[in-house]
Amino acid sequence: MSESFETPNSSPPSALAQLKQHTIVVADTSDFQSMREYEPRDATTNPSLVLKAASKEEYAYLVDEVVAQAKADGVTSATAVVDRLLVRFGCEILEIVPGRVSTEVDARLSFDTDGSVSKARELIAAYEEKGISRERILIKLASTWEGVQAARVLETEGIHCNMTLLFSLAQAVACADVEAQLISPFVGRIMDWYKAKTGETYEGAADPGVQSVTEIFNYYKKFGHETEVMGASFRNIGEIKELVGCDLLTISPSLLEELQHDTETLDLKLDASVAQSSSLEKVSYDEKSFRFALNEDAMATEKLAQGIRSFALDVCKLESLAAEKLG
């Protein structure tokens, strides 16, 4: 595919500016200054990013304000304070970005459909109490079978879901079948797994994370799924350049900075019209076939489990911080 973004007789715009012409750029951070600088449309957060931000001196006032209000309201649960902190960060982010913010359900509920639904409703209610429409919130759920079933329920209530920790086509198909709003396939973590297993270095279109997102994008467009594809977890800007044309890409501040200073002319890589001619065949999963397909994919199985453990650990760290502040 040869379409490029350079205009005749002029120096090319930054790679970031070119990317924004065909892909919605999302900030993968809880750092407010980065969002102001790079002007993404949306922002994504997770417990790890909120923990990192909450531990910085410049955000200490937010934590203190949330804890003080919780005390005034008679709240004694560290878990409840963490929920309030996530929503507070989300509200602050929505003062900066014009679009949506993603807020994650506790990873310890990844295998609990009812618990995930209940927590999502609580988070949405907390946003709405602050005057934020649910249309501006994406509830992040792990792409387990239980998470997918939670999304099925929530989407019927107008609570839109961002299906995270997604590493396989099977997960992507299940998410699309319940009409989840958006998926976040983890490009870099897929590449990490293959690099660790083979000792090889992957670049460009040979990157297995890039190949996974390309396959999912083509599948969705070929079969008319409206679920948005948002590539995530990038390790370098080479991966990003290979996914120009993806619906959305969520990018860390360090890589946004690299793209801002890069002037290479970018080519369109993903194209919905081209996807129609792909050789992909339509598939569907019930619980048994989904679990088996996931089990057969060692990379997806291992990275999903690892991701859940990591996010759960950071939730525990956030709770420890809240408990310490509560006194």
Enzyme catalytic residues? 140
Compute the distance between CA of residue 64 and CA of residue 59 in angstroms, rounded to an integer: 9
Q: How buried is 302 (Cβ within 10 angstroms: 0-12 exposed, 13-18 middle, 19+ buried)?
A: middle
Please tell me the number of Cα atoms within 13 Å of 317 on its side-chain side: 16
Cα separation of 44 and 211, whole Å?
Answer: 23
Other Cβ atoms within 10 Å of 80 Cβ, number: 15
Q: Assess contact for 43 and 101: CB atoms under 8 A.
A: yes
Helix locations, 11-142, DSSP H: 15-20, 32-38, 47-54, 60-72, 78-94, 113-129
User: What span, in angstroms and rounded, lies between the C-alpha atoms of 125 and 51?
Assistant: 23
Beta strands, E only, 172-215: 182-185
d(CA 32, CA 50): 11
Q: Specify whether the backbone of 24 is left (phi greater than 0), alpha (psi in -120 to 50) or beta.
A: beta
Are 66 and 84 within 8 A, CB to CB?
A: yes
